Every structure is written in C-alpha cells, then in structure tokens.
Amino acid sequence: MGAGSSQDMSVVEIPATARHSATLIFLHGLGDTGHGWAEHFRALKLKHVKCICPTASMQSVTLNGGLKMTSWFDIRGLSPDSPEDEEGIKEASQKLKDLVDKEESEGIPSNRVVIGGFSQGGAVALYTAFTMSKPLAGVIALSSWMPLNKQFPAVVKGNQTTPVLQCHGTADHVVPFEWGSLTAKLVSSFNSSHELKTYPGVMHSSCPQEMIDVKEFLSRHLDTE
C-alpha cells in the first residue's frame, strides 16, 4: 500500500497482470476502505488494467452525529433539500483528478482511465468526470447520486460523450432508487452515452450481476488494441 496523492489518503493498487495499458480508479462508500473493492476487482481478472482503490481520510460526519469515519466529504442529511458540503466535494474531486494526472505522468493517457465509485465515492466520480476537461475512458457509479446537482449542466466542462454506467438496486433505502433515477435523467441530459442498470430487490450493496455488468463495461471500453 503506497502513499496517495495526499498525505491523508492511502491507496491500494492491484497491478495489471499483462502489459499495463489502462487504469481503473474506484472510490469506496462512506465508512469503508479501498481494500474490499480492490479484492472485487482482483477477482474480475482484468489483466491489462491496473486498479487503484484509495481510502478516504477520517473526518467527522454530520449525518452520523459527528462520529469520525472514512469519508470523501461531509454528509449533512439524506433529503434532497439537505445542505451539501460543497468545499469537501470539490476537495475530494481534486484528489481524484490528481490520481488521473498521476496515471498520465506514468504513461497512461486520461482516455484510457475509467473513474468510478460506490455510493459517496460514485458521487465524487460523477462530479469529477463532468467538471474536468480531460477525456476519460468511462465512468462507473454504483448506488450513487450526483452531488451539487443544481449546478448542472452549467458547470460541465467535458466528457459529454464518455460512456457512463450507472447501477442501482431498487430496494436501496440509503441512497433511494429515486435519487438514482433522477441522477440518470440529469446526466443523460448532457451526456449522450449514459446507461442505467437496475437490480430488483437489491438494497444498498453490490450484487453478482452488477459486478458482471461492471466487468463487461470495462472490457468493452478498455479493450486492448
């Protein structure tokens, strides 16, 4: 486990098992770490794809009574009109952009990099993808939502044709399926390559079919030349 782009962020890396020609950067959800997701992606056997799974720093989370836990930004409520931690969201987004820049400095162009995440991590990935001008290979958002959504599409800078895979369980009570639907509607209004896959009865978690769909998406958009 090496140092990340910030002193308060650690990174788990799954190296490519064949010639490294593409990279996946995936952010975990609230209170989690990068380790579990790294093992998920190791199991997918992506061969030429390096997987980077950072762990967020510890910070107080208003939603959980101020308890400290790994978090990309503060969550102040779970209703659509709850105030948002704009500064924290933008800081987390910059960390993700820094990781993309680091891959570029090591020879992997941004259009061979997929960014994604689960729940809060997916929120950071969605926000980042459309507020950066560098082209990405794809975006994956699992059980997630678009933060600072009222600022869109005015803040969009790029990736309007970049493939986006959004996945959501219909029984999710943490990030309600309705949020996923509204996010899909918003993103598809300024991105022409968006798809939403739904999983009946799945709560706020991943499922085997979702990981099959993620692998298919990665294989399709990070295929070796």
Host domain of residue 22: 2-221
Give the global pTM: 0.94
Tell me if 172 sits within 8 A of 162, measured CB to CB: no
Active-site hit among 21, 119, 143, 144: 119
The C-alpha angle 26, 27, 31, rounded to 5 degrees, equals 150
Tens of pLDDT, residues 137-152: 999 999 999 999 999 9
> What Å distances lie between residue 108 and 46, 98, 112, 115, CA to CA?
16, 13, 6, 13
Tell me if 136 sits within 8 A of 162, measured CB to CB: yes
Residue 172 is among the residues annotated as catalytic for this protein:
yes
Tens of pLDDT, residues 134-193: 999 999 999 999 999 999 999 999 999 999 999 999 999 999 999 999 999 999 999 999
Active-site hit among 32, 172, 194, 206: 172
Active-site hit among 57, 74, 204, 205: 204
**Number of domains the chain contains:** 1
Residue 119 is among the residues annotated as catalytic for this protein:
yes
Distance from CA of residue 118 to its chain's centroid?
A: 6
CATH code for the domain in which residue 25 is found: 3.40.50.1820
Q: How high is the pLDDT of residue 7? A: 43
> What Å distances lie between residue 47 and 15, 152, 174, 215, 219, CA to CA?
9, 36, 34, 12, 10
